A and B are shown apart, each in its own frame.
Chain A
Amino acid sequence: MGLDFTVVPKFMDVILLGALWTIAITIAAATLSFFGGIMFAVIALYAPLPVRLPFRFFAWLFMGTPLLLQLFLIYFGLVQIGIDLPAFVAGVIGLGLHFAVYNSELIQASILAVDKGQTEAARTLGLSRMQALRKVVIPQAVRDVVPPIGNNMIALLKDSALVSVIGVSELTLSAQLAIGRTYRPFEFYVVAAVFYYIINLCMEAGLRRIERRTQASR
């Protein structure tokens, strides 16, 4: 069986729709991982010990285990406790939490690296501890880790292919759908790869712009 790319155009609408879902999942999960990462960082650093310790344990566990395993836990675990989420939502939560843990590690280190004088000055000006953290320390800490967080987001885009395994009909699953009809895996995985590559290029260009803007405001 040779290669025959002429079957591809017939399924282009399916693939394009899948690509849109991949973009949607990536944006949703990236947003969740960004704000989740900030929240996790604050919990890991400042929450009372009974919260902080178990939290750090699970963060450590999430950093040392494969995303695919975590997706199975979240998808089937939620069903187990009676929460039957659509696959898309479970996928976004799984991807978002996984990368939130990675972002949180970056942000924690960055928060600790912000000059102590900043907090002291804010407190002297009458801000509460929480206000000083939220309005003075965190904005500076986050700005400093924009490039590595951007790298995590690129990784997130590529790892979004994994949610096909729990039945989210994004780009990978759309390709598989077309393959199921045509028995042409090579052609459609190449097409899917091309789409991922293009989305990846656009995302890198976007992240570079954000980087330039945040680094300019220093």
Chain B
Amino acid sequence: MDFELMLRVYPFFLKAALVTIELSVLTALLGLACGALGAAARLSRLSALRWIGAAYVSLIRGTPALIQLFLLYFGGPQIGIQLDAFSAGVIGLGVNIGAYMTETIRGAIVAVDKGQTEAARTLGLSRWQAMRKVVIPQAARLMVRPLGVNINALIKGTALVAPISVIELTYTAQRYIGSTYKPFEMFMISGALYMVIIYVTGHGVAWLDRRVRIA
């Protein structure tokens, strides 16, 4: 292993890691918003909304994220959507992970015992109040861990923006492999940085999970 080279190039990887983190955070936020909306649509009383929610999940989960991203970034201008690579990355990946989060959130809500809603309704709460004050607080505890799994996948998924030239970790690794011919060294640097991001996020999720469980 060429440690001297690794020491020389690692600052560029650090900078790229910040872009990966930025992408991950924005994607996660958009994903959660899409997931919440998607779950609300799938559990709606209106069949049209349920249908839209189901179509969203099925279409997104049935096709590759890379194709969705390319469709948005390269095909978008044809239908009047002009985005820079970074924004296309956040929107494409966010909408993608949102479909997986829709299922996670819906699963957690459905997993809350039916008796809870019935009891709340009997006590005079409206359907919406029962959902907001009784079901969702309990479901929120159940969804921390599985949402953590979604977020873990999302962090690795941010590598998909490398082909549209967002200068994040994987793009940087690819470029330095091309210029130094040291694939293993470049993999180790970027791999280590991905591991740090994933490790810290994983611990954050575990911490949050413990907290909501005690509460």
| Chain A residues at the B interface, C-beta cutoff of 8 Å | 1-3, 61, 64-70, 72-73, 76-77, 80, 158-162, 164-165, 172, 175, 179, 184-187, 189-190, 192-193, 196-197, 200-201
Shortest CB distance A70–B (Å): 8
Of the A-B pairs whose beta carbons lie under 8 Å apart in the complex, a sample of 13, sorted by A's number, is A64-B156, A68-B160, A70-B187, A72-B187, A73-B183, A77-B187, A80-B181, A160-B64, A165-B162, A175-B67, A193-B67, A197-B62, A200-B62
In B171-196, the 8 Å CB interface with A consists of: 173-174, 177, 181-184, 187, 190-191, 194-195
Q: Is the CB of B75 within 8 A of A158?
A: no
Q: Is the CB of A69 within 8 A of B191?
A: yes
* B52: chain A residues within 8 A (beta carbon): none
Using C-beta atoms within 8 Å of the partner chain, give the interface range for chain B: 35 or more
Q: Is the CB of A186 within 8 A of B183?
A: no
Bound form: Cα–Cα A177–B50 in Å: 37
Q: Is the CB of B71 within 8 A of A186?
A: yes
Q: Is the CB of B78 within 8 A of A61?
A: no
| Chain B residues at the A interface, C-beta cutoff of 8 Å | 59, 62-68, 70-71, 74-79, 156-160, 162-163, 169-170, 173-174, 177, 181-184, 187, 190-191, 194-195, 198-199
Bound form: Cα–Cα A165–B178 in Å: 14
Q: Label chain B's interface by main secondary structure.
A: helix
Shortest CB distance A157–B (Å): 8
Q: Is the CB of A193 within 8 A of B68?
A: yes
Q: Is the CB of A64 within 8 A of B187?
A: no
* A161: chain B residues within 8 A (beta carbon): 64, 66-67
Q: Label chain A's interface by main secondary structure.
A: helix
* A197: chain B residues within 8 A (beta carbon): 59, 62-63
* A165: chain B residues within 8 A (beta carbon): 162-163
* B68: chain A residues within 8 A (beta carbon): 193
Bound form: Cα–Cα A61–B196 in Å: 11
Cross-chain contact of B159 among A69, A179, A184, A201 (Cβ < 8 A): A69
Shortest CB distance A129–B (Å): 35
